[in-house]
Structure 1
């Protein structure tokens, strides 16, 4: 085609950013706490993410703090001095944690996100943008992470596009319970020891039933076997201690009795504190 050598090419230039991000639960707790304590006129919370970048490029997000800001339809004003002072204070305590990106509450990327991302791009290379849906748009607090990809026309950069990357929560079993409660739209009260144990046993029973159905389906030829699933089942069974049903029942009942005793003692202590407080108040009045 004539003049083909003079064509201008529209290109995407992926940044050498990480392919994934790992989040520790304390980051989510900090973000949700900041959202609850936000000013009345603020619709969302914006803040800084701290952590480090692993050798494979994965961003480990280990800490965070909110940054005061004012936001309108066409501009966002961040308290940069507050951000820098908080960053210096955090690095005095944890010098290995560096700035790796920023977060905002809400579902997905909003209109002013490009302006904020541009600021953090000047603070660090290839920042990660983390969003936490505190409005429960899809029924839970969905968490997403993004990096920026440059859009260029010839030699001129036109804009930046947010590209979603995989994100994973790194947590222990105890933290998993708290994060599960945090991602629910409404929780009347935190479960006690017995209620938590009951919920865990119900979940375990459901998993055992799923495994039974899978194994039966493989044996009957209805399901194509997966070697990875088979190895996972074998590893899980190998961790089960070898004991008789009677010994297992005794161990389980002893644990239930211990939890019931702890609940009873805590109730007595709480009652004594209430009585002591009332007696102290009455003595001061007299």
Structure 2
């Protein structure tokens, strides 16, 4: 694909026309993109790839999977391995037939001139594809993740620019995934948190949320802020989902679960020790 004279215009999500479409990305996609960036060829400055998922009933683009696509970039052109792209899609849909192409991704902060050419290719694969950018260089101190859609701007019969507009992006994850994602967001990581450290971080986050809810309820009762029926419904649903059990029974459940967890850690430690001994004995027997 050769570069054209068209320019790229990038707008923030404050633009009104971009509010009609939103995207939701799962952490597996972000982890996969980061892994592909780490394993990229030495001469490659960035990696690009295909996004897979589905369209939810409310129109949200649900991005659940991805794979990298080999490409070469120069100043005036960009080349994609189209055969590899199609072969990967066929292989993936044999395992997940309900997942289709919903867009493409690239590493880096924002869109570039070559983004127009790549977006045109994916526009032939799917209508109105999503362009996801992941800043793996931590240009702003954090790994910025943004999603865009593109519209063509024309003057008469002549197309003069490609307009990329940022759309709302929701990063959905369970608490265990959030701990791993927060660890990856930091520019430097001393060590990966253990299970107990992850549980402690989860409890601290939960207590902070409870404090926020407690303060909100007090403000509503005291008349400092106006009540919101939607927030009240969420609080009611959360309280209603709690198990109605006596404190003694709840403490026993927690203690039993903790003991089971510690037993699993102990058994796994014994297994590793046995494997290490078996390997050393096998090595010694081969030498003798």
Please tell me the TM-score bracket, short chain as reference: 0.7 to 0.9
CA distance in structure 2 between the partners assigned to 1:280 and 1:21 by the alignment: 54
Asked if structure 1 preserves the Cα contact closer than 8 Å seen for 2:18 and 2:166, the reply is: no
Shift in Å, 1:280: 1.8
CA distance in structure 1 between the partners assigned to 2:257 and 2:100 by the alignment: 44
Where does 1:1-286 land on structure 2 (aligned, <5 Å)?
19-286=21-288
CA distance in structure 1 between the partners assigned to 2:59 and 2:269 by the alignment: 50
TM-score by length of 1: 0.85
Shift in Å, 1:87: 2.1
CA deviation profile, 1:103-144 (whole Å, cap 9, x unmatched): 101111123211211222233322211111222233332221
Shift in Å, 1:236: 1.0
CA distance in structure 1 between the partners assigned to 2:121 and 2:17 by the alignment: 16
TM-score by length of 2: 0.84
Consecutive unaligned residues in structure 2, runs of 5 or more: 1-15
What's the secondary structure of 2:21's corresponding residue?
coil
CA distance in structure 2 between the partners assigned to 1:56 and 1:185 by the alignment: 36
CA distance in structure 1 between the partners assigned to 2:229 and 2:137 by the alignment: 40
CA deviation profile, 1:227-274 (whole Å, cap 9, x unmatched): 222221121111111222222222222222222222222222212222
Higher RCO (CA < 8 A, seq sep 6+): 2
Shift in Å, 1:17: 11
Number of residue pairs the alignment of both structures matches? 273
CA distance in structure 1 between the partners assigned to 2:137 and 2:71 by the alignment: 20
Structure number, greater radius of gyration: 1
Asked if structure 1 preserves the Cα contact closer than 8 Å seen for 2:105 and 2:132, the reply is: yes
